Amino acid sequence: MKKLIIFVLFASLFASCNKKDKTCNQDAAGVSGTYKITAVTYKATAGSAEQDYYSFLFPDACERDDLWIFSSNGTYVFSDAGVKCVPPGDDNGTWSINGNTIVLDGDPATVQSFNCSALVVVVTDFNNVGDQIKITFARQ
Protein backbone atom coordinates (compact mmCIF):
# COMPACT_ATOMS: atom_id res chain seq x y z
CA MET A 1 0.00 0.00 0.00
CA LYS A 2 2.85 2.38 0.87
CA LYS A 3 4.41 1.80 -2.58
CA LEU A 4 1.04 2.55 -4.23
CA ILE A 5 0.73 5.89 -2.38
CA ILE A 6 4.28 6.86 -3.29
CA PHE A 7 3.64 5.88 -6.92
CA VAL A 8 0.43 7.96 -7.06
CA LEU A 9 2.17 10.99 -5.51
CA PHE A 10 5.10 10.65 -7.89
CA ALA A 11 2.82 10.22 -10.90
CA SER A 12 0.72 13.26 -10.00
CA LEU A 13 3.85 15.36 -9.43
CA PHE A 14 5.26 14.26 -12.78
CA ALA A 15 1.97 14.94 -14.57
CA SER A 16 1.66 18.41 -13.04
CA CYS A 17 5.18 19.29 -14.19
CA ASN A 18 4.33 18.32 -17.76
CA LYS A 19 1.17 20.41 -18.01
CA LYS A 20 1.54 23.30 -20.41
CA ASP A 21 1.09 26.58 -18.62
CA LYS A 22 -0.97 29.27 -20.33
CA THR A 23 1.42 31.45 -22.23
CA CYS A 24 1.52 35.10 -21.37
CA ASN A 25 2.12 36.47 -24.82
CA GLN A 26 1.23 40.07 -25.53
CA ASP A 27 -0.77 39.17 -28.63
CA ALA A 28 -4.46 38.61 -29.42
CA ALA A 29 -4.38 34.99 -28.21
CA GLY A 30 -2.58 35.84 -24.95
CA VAL A 31 -4.60 38.95 -24.11
CA SER A 32 -8.03 37.61 -25.09
CA GLY A 33 -10.26 36.91 -22.11
CA THR A 34 -12.64 38.56 -19.68
CA TYR A 35 -11.54 41.64 -17.72
CA LYS A 36 -12.91 44.17 -15.28
CA ILE A 37 -11.53 47.69 -14.84
CA THR A 38 -10.13 47.90 -11.32
CA ALA A 39 -8.16 51.17 -11.36
CA VAL A 40 -7.97 54.39 -13.34
CA THR A 41 -5.50 57.22 -12.79
CA TYR A 42 -5.14 60.56 -14.55
CA LYS A 43 -2.21 62.94 -15.07
CA ALA A 44 -2.93 66.44 -16.39
CA THR A 45 0.67 66.76 -17.65
CA ALA A 46 3.68 64.49 -17.90
CA GLY A 47 5.11 66.06 -14.71
CA SER A 48 1.87 65.95 -12.72
CA ALA A 49 1.16 63.47 -9.97
CA GLU A 50 -1.29 60.69 -10.77
CA GLN A 51 -4.79 61.25 -9.43
CA ASP A 52 -7.31 58.51 -8.73
CA TYR A 53 -9.87 58.84 -11.51
CA TYR A 54 -11.83 55.61 -10.94
CA SER A 55 -14.66 57.14 -8.89
CA PHE A 56 -14.85 60.11 -11.23
CA LEU A 57 -15.31 57.92 -14.33
CA PHE A 58 -17.45 55.29 -12.59
CA PRO A 59 -19.51 57.09 -9.92
CA ASP A 60 -22.32 54.50 -9.87
CA ALA A 61 -22.07 50.93 -8.56
CA CYS A 62 -23.68 49.65 -11.76
CA GLU A 63 -20.61 50.84 -13.70
CA ARG A 64 -17.98 49.25 -11.46
CA ASP A 65 -18.81 45.60 -12.13
CA ASP A 66 -18.94 45.69 -15.93
CA LEU A 67 -16.91 43.23 -17.98
CA TRP A 68 -14.80 43.58 -21.10
CA ILE A 69 -14.65 40.34 -23.09
CA PHE A 70 -11.84 40.41 -25.66
CA SER A 71 -12.03 37.59 -28.23
CA SER A 72 -8.97 36.42 -30.13
CA ASN A 73 -10.83 37.06 -33.41
CA GLY A 74 -10.50 40.84 -32.86
CA THR A 75 -13.96 41.57 -31.47
CA TYR A 76 -14.96 42.60 -27.97
CA VAL A 77 -18.16 42.71 -25.94
CA PHE A 78 -18.69 45.24 -23.18
CA SER A 79 -21.16 43.65 -20.79
CA ASP A 80 -23.17 45.60 -18.23
CA ALA A 81 -22.67 42.77 -15.74
CA GLY A 82 -23.81 42.46 -12.14
CA VAL A 83 -25.80 45.52 -11.10
CA LYS A 84 -27.50 46.74 -14.29
CA CYS A 85 -27.45 50.42 -15.18
CA VAL A 86 -30.59 52.03 -16.58
CA PRO A 87 -30.34 51.96 -19.51
CA PRO A 88 -27.83 49.08 -19.72
CA GLY A 89 -24.47 49.97 -21.21
CA ASP A 90 -23.86 46.84 -23.29
CA ASP A 91 -21.72 47.44 -26.35
CA ASN A 92 -19.39 45.68 -28.77
CA GLY A 93 -16.69 46.54 -31.25
CA THR A 94 -13.27 45.65 -32.55
CA TRP A 95 -9.82 45.53 -31.01
CA SER A 96 -6.30 44.58 -32.00
CA ILE A 97 -2.88 44.45 -30.46
CA ASN A 98 0.51 44.81 -32.11
CA GLY A 99 3.55 45.03 -29.86
CA ASN A 100 2.85 47.68 -27.21
CA THR A 101 -0.05 49.21 -29.12
CA ILE A 102 -3.64 48.18 -28.47
CA VAL A 103 -6.38 49.63 -30.64
CA LEU A 104 -9.99 49.73 -29.47
CA ASP A 105 -12.52 50.78 -32.12
CA GLY A 106 -9.76 52.60 -34.02
CA ASP A 107 -8.40 54.46 -30.98
CA PRO A 108 -4.78 53.52 -30.14
CA ALA A 109 -3.34 53.21 -26.65
CA THR A 110 -0.07 51.97 -25.20
CA VAL A 111 0.17 48.72 -23.26
CA GLN A 112 2.26 49.69 -20.24
CA SER A 113 2.29 46.15 -18.87
CA PHE A 114 0.65 42.74 -19.24
CA ASN A 115 1.27 39.75 -16.98
CA CYS A 116 -1.69 37.48 -17.86
CA SER A 117 -3.53 38.69 -14.74
CA ALA A 118 -3.56 42.43 -15.39
CA LEU A 119 -3.48 44.57 -18.51
CA VAL A 120 -2.42 48.19 -17.93
CA VAL A 121 -3.19 50.57 -20.79
CA VAL A 122 -2.19 54.25 -21.11
CA VAL A 123 -4.06 56.70 -23.32
CA THR A 124 -2.28 59.98 -24.02
CA ASP A 125 -4.00 63.20 -25.01
CA PHE A 126 -7.17 61.92 -23.31
CA ASN A 127 -8.81 65.30 -22.58
CA ASN A 128 -6.00 67.71 -23.46
CA VAL A 129 -2.69 67.60 -25.25
CA GLY A 130 -0.10 66.05 -22.92
CA ASP A 131 -2.46 64.49 -20.40
CA GLN A 132 -2.80 60.76 -19.87
CA ILE A 133 -5.14 58.26 -18.36
CA LYS A 134 -3.99 54.84 -17.13
CA ILE A 135 -6.54 52.01 -17.00
CA THR A 136 -5.93 48.71 -15.22
CA PHE A 137 -7.92 45.72 -16.44
CA ALA A 138 -7.93 42.67 -14.13
CA ARG A 139 -8.52 39.29 -15.74
CA GLN A 140 -11.58 37.57 -14.29
Over residues 66-92, the pLDDT tens digits come to 999 999 999 999 999 999 999 988 999
CB-based contact 94:102 (threshold 8 Å) = no
Instruction: Write down the pLDDT at residue 83.
Output: 93
CB-based contact 106:116 (threshold 8 Å) = no
- Pairing of β 75-79 and β 101-104: unpaired
Tens of pLDDT, residues 12-63? 333 334 344 456 899 999 999 999 999 999 999 989 999 999 999 999 999 9
Tens of pLDDT, residues 118-136? 999 999 999 999 999 999 9
Contacts 24+ apart (CB under 8 A), 75-78: 76/104
Q: How confident is the model at residue 113 (pLDDT cuts 50, 70, 90)?
A: very high
